[in-house]
């Protein structure tokens, strides 16, 4: 059965192309079932879109306007009365369809668990994870599909030649042992934020120049809560916005897709700073990937 979507009032970008003409497919996944601290990220997709509708759309990197990009926003995946496993299966099928049609998929969460479904259908690539946490537990609260297990499930389901964690600063011994055993790359937040801009660029270039394809899975709690308070599990001493935007700019030519998750508008402040930052990241992913394909 084909996935069903609810239309959204503010399609991402505001420049809705016909589905059959679009090169970029956006969809929200309001999954919010396994919060271990504070729930509310199920409202993230629509609030991110609202924030996006109220910011400028020209990239500060390429100077290209988002209106140049052929985007179709499907709306939000209907998940009511479906098990989490069913939701993940539908995400796998949707991803497979996007890849087969050579359309770039951008998912908006919802909880980070959605990567476990998306990973099922991605081409061979390096998984790039921006997150304060490793999300490598086998189970959490007796649930294998908890957001704390998202990357463990994605690793099982996907075809990844490596996983690179960026902004890590909150881990369990179980997760760290597993990451070391599997030889995953971890770029600890305290190391990155002590670098100069030049050192940071050299560090990510050294790591990312060696791979041919990436998928970006971005949990907004990877960013310091001073800049992104609207997340369920904030951790201090995190990345700054420019770290994430520089990373996106660096890897965008080789991206096969991306997701932005764990935006909790109920915990954002009145400035909507988390939503606006998330929207800016989404725009940068889309515009800079488009730019790399149209030079």
Domain ranges of the chain: 5-293
Distances (CA, A) of 164 to 130, 187, 203, 216: 8, 8, 13, 10
Q: Contact, 109 vs 45, CB < 8 A?
A: yes
Residue count (the chain) = 295
The closest alpha carbon to 128, from 89, 93, 163, belongs to: 163
Residue 157 has a pLDDT of 94
Q: Tell me whether residue 100 is exposed, middle or buried, using C-beta atoms within 10 angstroms of its C-beta: 0 to 12, 13 to 18, 19 or more.
A: exposed
CATH topology for 5-293 is 3.40.800
The Cα–Cα gap between 257 and 123 comes to 10
* pTM beyond 0.85, yes or no: yes
Q: With a cut of 70, which residues of the chain have pLDDT below it?
A: 1
């Amino acid at each position: 059965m084909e996935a069903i979507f609810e239309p959204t009032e503010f399609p991402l970008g505001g420049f809705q192309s016909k589905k059959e003409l679009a090169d970029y497919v956006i969809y929200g996944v309001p999954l919010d079932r396994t919060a271990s601290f504070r729930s509310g990220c199920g409202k993230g997709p629509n609030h991110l879109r609202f924030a996006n509708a109220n910011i400028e759309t020209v990239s500060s990197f390429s100077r290209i306007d988002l209106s140049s990009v052929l985007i179709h926003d499907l709306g939000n995946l209907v998940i009511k009365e479906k098990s989490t496993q069913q939701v993940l299966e539908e995400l796998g099928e949707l991803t497979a369809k996007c890849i087969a049609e050579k359309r770039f998929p951008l998912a908006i969460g919802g909880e980070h668990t959605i990567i476990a479904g998306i990973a099922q259908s991605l081409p061979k690539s390096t998984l790039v994870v921006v997150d304060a946490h490793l999300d490598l537990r086998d189970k959490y609260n007796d649930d294998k599909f908890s957001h704390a297990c998202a990357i463990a499930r994605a690793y099982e389901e996907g075809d990844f030649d490596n996983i690179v964690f960026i902004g890590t600063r909150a881990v369990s011994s179980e997760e760290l042992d597993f990451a070391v055993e599997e030889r995953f790359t971890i770029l600890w937040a305290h190391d990155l934020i002590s670098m100069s801009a030049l050192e940071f660029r050299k560090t990510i270039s050294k790591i990312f120049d060696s791979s041919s394809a990436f998928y970006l899975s971005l949990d907004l709690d990877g960013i310091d809560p001073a800049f992104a308070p609207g997340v369920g599990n904030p951790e201090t001493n995190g990345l700054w916005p420019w770290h994430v935007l520089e990373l996106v700019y660096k890897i965008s030519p080789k991206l096969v897709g991306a997701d932005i998750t764990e935006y909790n508008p109920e915990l954002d402040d009145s400035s909507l700073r988390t939503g606006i930052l998330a929207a800016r990241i989404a725009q940068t992913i889309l515009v800079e990937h488009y730019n790399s394909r149209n030079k």
